[in-house]
Amino acid sequence: MEKSLTLDWGTDELHEECGVFGMYDLDGNDVASTIYYGLFALQHRGQESCGIAVSDTYGPKGVVNACKGMGLCNEVFTSEKLEKLKGNIGVGHVRYSTAGSSTIENTQPLVLNYVKGTLALAHNGNLVNAPELRRELAYDGAIFQTTIDSEVIAYHIARERCKVGTAEEAVANAMKKIKGAYSLVISSPRKLIGARDPQGFKPLCIGKRDNAYILTSETCALDTIGATFVRDVLPGEIVTINKDGIKSNLMMHDPKKEARCIFEYIYFARPDSVFDGVGVYHSRIYAGRCLAKDSPVDADIVVGVPESGNAAALGYSMESGIPYAMAFVKNSYVGRTFIKPGQSSRESAVRIKLNVLKEAVEGKRVVMIDDSIVRGTTSNLIVDMLREAGAKEVHMRISAPPFLYPCYFGTDIPSSEQLIAHKRTVDEICKVIGADSLAYLKMERLSEMANGLPICTACFSGEYPVDPPEEDIRGSYEK
């Protein structure tokens, strides 16, 4: 068994960039505490920092109350802080940094005071042309306070707003310039605006509770606050919510350009969310069923690597008839402030996070389902842990095709050289991770997983729906 890979905690786990949540209560009730609970439901989308910015549509224009900080929602906000955030319109954000470093300056929402008033903006995704746009603005005299591309978007909207009559027109003009992935939630003094890029990379949906409207990344956040789902924001659509209801601008909507991030269905999103009519849970079950059909194996139990491997493992079990079992106990308290053990330490970060249930796997031939293999370090260790616990055989099945290319749209998939599947066959990867057999989901199954919706598969296929930048832009402002 080849064991050339070293374990470095945190490098083998992929992250989503952000989650967004906006709310406008037309009856004038404060929205900060509801935004907080919404962000709490989106915490899996970003754990480095979070923030809320609110204003009062009945109060003086130009006043925005904001609270932002590093850490999880329950670390940043207290009931006293939320109590001080008075206002019936606002936006919230949870962040993980894939472009722009993890600092307090880069936390969102961004609040912009400019000649036409104020804007609070929360963004999920990465732009591919942010460096050019940023240079252009800088030569025009703009002074940036952050290193995130969300500020480039905010600047463009503010600039356009000086030329046109409404904030939504300014958003539409800015959208003609920015390229890449963005789901935006913006509050202007009397409007809540949502926008999704023409590809629809990242999700965004509309909800309603009593006389309040919500815009958020995932439907699970609507369930959490007791709101009902109204509809998804379409790729390329701008929605404007004010006292007259919802107004839609489909200027940038073009079904031929749609390319949703399939990795939302495979891994990022919570299984209780539904995007564009397709349930995440359903798509993961389907992937597991496909793995059982396409890559069967004789085994005694099927287990999932928590959390996102669980539903696919259930699907594998349903299709194959092999009993589903729980093999891992996860410690859910490993948070951002977790002190990572050094390489020489006897403790392993993966073991601290996951432990094997010996009595479930001892003497068994195990099919283990995971959502992806990035560098292979974690998979290698988990296979070892199953063997140490007495598993007779470990057959690994992955509910996605092999990662071969980086993502420029807001996921921290690293460059090809760092990916285990780069220049290795499936058999070679199997040897490196030490499994008895290994199989990945077939490429053609991806579109079936999303019920035939147009999807982005660039990290597996190299076919980018928007031209990738010539240089690696991720983190480029710090270079």
Positions marked catalytic: 18
Helix (H, G, I), strand (E, B) or coil at 54: strand
CB of residue 262 vs ligand SF4: minimum separation in angstroms?
A: 5
Q: Report the C-alpha gap between 439 and 26 in whole angstroms.
A: 52
Total residues at the site for ligand SF4 (CB under 6 A)? 12
Kindly state the smallest distance separating residue 256's Cβ from ligand SF4, in Å: 17
Q: Which is nearer to ligand SF4, 207 or 468 (by Cβ)? A: 468
With a CB cutoff of 8 Å and minimum separation 6, the contacts of 293 are 319
* 383, 407, 429, 441: residue in contact with ligand SF4 (rule CB under 6 A): 407
With beta carbons less than 8 A apart as the criterion, state whether 431 and 414 touch.
no
Instruction: Identify the residue among 31, 456, 466, 473 touching ligand SF4 (CB under 6 A).
Output: 456
Q: How far is the CB of 414 from ligand SF4 (least distance, A)?
A: 12
Which residues, 6+ apart, have CB-to-CB distance to 63 below 8 Å?
A: 55, 56, 118
Closest separation in Å from C-beta 463 to ligand SF4: 9
| Contact status: 280 vs ligand SF4 (CB under 6 A) | no
Q: Which residues within the stretch 256-275 sit at the binding site for ligand SF4 (CB under 6 A)?
A: 261-263
User: With respect to ligand SF4, which residue has the nearer C-beta, 105 or 463?
Assistant: 463
Choose the stretch contacting ligand SF4; rule: CB under 6 A; options: 225-233, 250-258, 306-314, 454-462.
Answer: 454-462
Please pick, from the candidates 40, 96, 324, 409, the single residue that binds ligand SF4 as defined by CB under 6 A: 409
User: In terms of DSSP H, where are the helices of 238-279?
Assistant: 262-263
Residue placing its CB nearer to ligand SF4 in the complex, 201 or 281: 201
- In angstroms, the CA 407 to CA 265 distance is 16
By C-alpha distance, which of 470, 271, 279 is closest to 371?
Answer: 271
Nearest to 194 by CA among 240, 158, 154: 240
Q: Taking the CB of residue 303, how many other CB atoms lie within 10 A of it?
A: 30
Q: Do residues 181 and 257 touch, judged by C-beta distance below 8 A? A: no
Q: Phi and psi for 221 in degrees, rounded to 5?
A: -70, -30
If one asks whether residue 201 binds ligand SF4 (CB under 6 A), the answer comes out as yes
Q: Where are the alpha helices (DSSP H) in 321-440?
A: 349-353, 358-361, 377-388, 426-433
Contacts of 105 (CB under 8 A, 6+ apart): 145, 146, 147
Q: Between 281 and 405, name the residue whose CB sits nearer to ligand SF4.
A: 405
Measured in whole angstroms, how far is the alpha carbon of residue 68 from the centre of its chain?
20
**Shortest Cβ 17–ligand SF4 spacing (Å):** 10
Of 73, 121, 458, 466, the one binding ligand SF4 (CB under 6 A) is 458
Does the footprint of ligand SF4 cover residue 466 (CB under 6 A)? no
Write down the least CB distance from residue 263 to ligand SF4, Å. 4
Only one of the segments 110-118, 229-237, 280-288, 452-460 lies at the binding site for ligand SF4 (rule: CB under 6 A); that segment is 452-460
Helices (H), 195-259: 219-224
Q: Would you give the binding string for ligand SF4 spanning residues 154-193, x where CB under 6 A is met?
A: ----------------------------------------
Binding ligand SF4 by CB under 6 A: which of 373, 411, 419, 421? 411
Q: Which residue, 90 or 402, has its beta carbon nearer to ligand SF4?
A: 402
- Candidates 243-251, 313-321, 341-349, 450-458; binding stretch for ligand SF4 (CB under 6 A): 450-458
For residue 421, give the 3-state DSSP assignment. Answer: coil
- The token pair that represents 223 in the structure block: 């369930």
* Contacts with ligand SF4, 217-256, as mask; x by CB under 6 A: ----------------------------------------
Q: Please answer whether residues 459 and 468 qualify as being in contact, where contact means their C-beta atoms are separated by less than 8 angstroms.
A: no
Distance in Å, CB of 77 to ligand SF4, minimum: 30
Stretch near ligand SF4 under the rule CB under 6 A, chosen from 45-53, 70-78, 211-219, 407-415 = 407-415
Read off the amino acid at residue 43: Q
CA dist list (Å): 408 to 95, 96, 340:
16, 15, 27
Q: How far is C-alpha 323 from the geometric centre of its chain's CA atoms?
A: 31
Residues in touch with ligand SF4 (CB under 6 A)? 201, 261-263, 407, 409, 411, 413, 456-459
